[in-house]
Amino acid sequence: MRFAVPMLPPSVNHYKQMRRGGGMYLTKQATAFADQTFLLSRGIRITGNFYEIDLTFYLGPKRQKLSSHDLDNFIKVAIDALARAHVITNDGRVLDLHVHKRFCSTERDERTEFSVEGKQIDERALFQQGELPASSR
């Protein structure tokens, strides 16, 4: 399954905030990204007990300083959005993750592209052998 969200996720530093009485809540930016992920995934749920995810983040001119906007700051928010949208059942079930940072010419072209594939793998064999069977790679 492939789809794109016409925005970048907020960095993990702007993902959750503390409540006054304790606990955490999602920021407006994180909620907006999760909502867009839900809408644009069109209610599709990926089958399989494990997942392979490919993420591509397209950064506009204002974000093109290579030393900033670390990929790891985007990844957690993007994968959590897939789980919140019920595209995947559990983000702990991601076996393979491929991440790319690309650049676009305008701010309007900023986006996050998702490719998600389900894999049905015998868990006992996976955990006993320590690696994926050749047919699942």
Domain holding 10: CATH number? 3.30.1330.70
pTM for the complete prediction? 0.83
- Report strand pairing: 111-119 vs 2-5: antiparallel
Q: Supply the range of the domain harboring residue 101.
A: 2-136
CB 119 within 8 A of CB 48: yes
Structural domain count, the chain: 1
- The C-alpha atoms of residue 125 and residue 8 are separated, in whole angstroms, by 37
CA separation, residue 36 to residues 43, 100, 101, 118 (Å): 12, 20, 20, 21
- Residue 86 pLDDT greater than 70, yes or no: yes
- Residue 125 pLDDT greater than 80, yes or no: no
- Residue 55 pLDDT greater than 90, yes or no: yes
Q: Which two tokens stand for residue 123?
A: 């868990």
CB 100 within 8 A of CB 89: no
Strands (E), 33-109: 50-59, 94-103
Q: Is 68 exposed, middle or buried (0-12, 13-18, 19+ CB in 10 A)?
A: exposed
- Residue 128 pLDDT greater than 70, yes or no: yes
For 109-136, what is the mean pLDDT?
A: 82
